[in-house]
Amino acid sequence: MLKILKYSFFDLMRSRWSYVYFAFYLLLGIVLLFLNNDLSKAVITLMNIIIVLVPLIGTIFGVMYYYNSKEFTELLLAQPLKRSSIFLGQYLGVSISLSMSLVLGLGIPFALYGLFNSSAIWDFSLLIITGGFLTFIFTALAFNIALSNENKIKGFGYAILVWLLLAIIYDGVFLMSLILFEDYPLDKLSLVGTMLNPIDLSRTLILLKLDISALLGYTGAVFKQFFGTSFGLIVSFSMLIIWVSLPVMRIVYKSKRKDF
């Protein structure tokens, strides 16, 4: 698995799309720091971009890599190798390369701007960590979709649909349900609904770390009371780990039973 991971990683590092992805974040970080003198404001702006863009890139890149390397994968399957090692190696190679582009692309301009001497370093670190989690989560979802669909068009369509559901549609349905049932106690429902969506969970963690939860009103106070505690942080990161683990486990399950 490590050999396949290494091959997939360096294969992607030689890909022009990895350089484009890295250059985009590098340019984004430079522009934001040029326009904002305050590092905290730059982190808030980055949050709004990363929370939406990272899942989209992870989903599309994961599906695209699976379909483009299908012939090579079939060649590997003809060798005396475990199927789970092949697909996990490819998945980790894609996820790690995308995460590195994110970390280096944003980390270089912020480090040069004096991040390590600023109090915003913890906010930025949380932003990068949640961005990494979202990359691993949505790349795993993308591999699951590709493994379940031989047709490329269907695979890309389902991948975009999953991103739309979690990034946009889920929020609308969740908000409508809170409005319809506003006469009932919704504290637990809000917490559970947030943790069932990795994008919402990441956004809430960053907002609370930036100490602007007051903008969320009563719901923000509830979130602050739970997510702002040590127990809440442990539960939140545990949920993100579960969001990574379940799709990865399905990759292993699906790869063992799929007829190639």
pLDDT tens digits along 22-32: 898 899 888 88
Q: Measure the CA–CA gap between 137 and 212, rounded to whole angstroms.
A: 26
Q: Is the per-residue pLDDT at 154 higher than 80?
A: yes
Most confident of 12-21, 26-35, 95-104: 95-104
pLDDT tens digits along 111-135: 888 777 777 788 888 889 999 999 9
Question: What is the pLDDT at residue 224?
Answer: 64
Question: What is the pLDDT at residue 259?
Answer: 67
Q: Measure the CA–CA gap between 163 and 170, rounded to whole angstroms.
A: 10
Q: Measure the CA–CA gap between 88 and 102, rounded to whole angstroms.
A: 21
Please compute the mean of the pLDDT values over residues 179-187 and round it to a whole number.
72
Ranking 106-115, 184-193, 239-248 by mean pLDDT, the lowest is 184-193
Please compute the mean of the pLDDT values over residues 198-210 and round it to a whole number.
80
- The domain locations on the chain are 2-146+162-257
* Residue whose token pair is 């991040």: 115
Any residues with CB less than 8 A from the CB of 70 and at least 6 apart, and which?
none
pLDDT tens digits along 221-237: 566 666 666 777 788 88
pLDDT tens digits along 160-174: 999 999 988 888 887
Question: What is the pLDDT at residue 214?
Answer: 47
Please compute the mean of the pLDDT values over residues 136-144 and round it to a whole number.
94
CA-based nearest residue to 96, from 67, 65, 127: 65
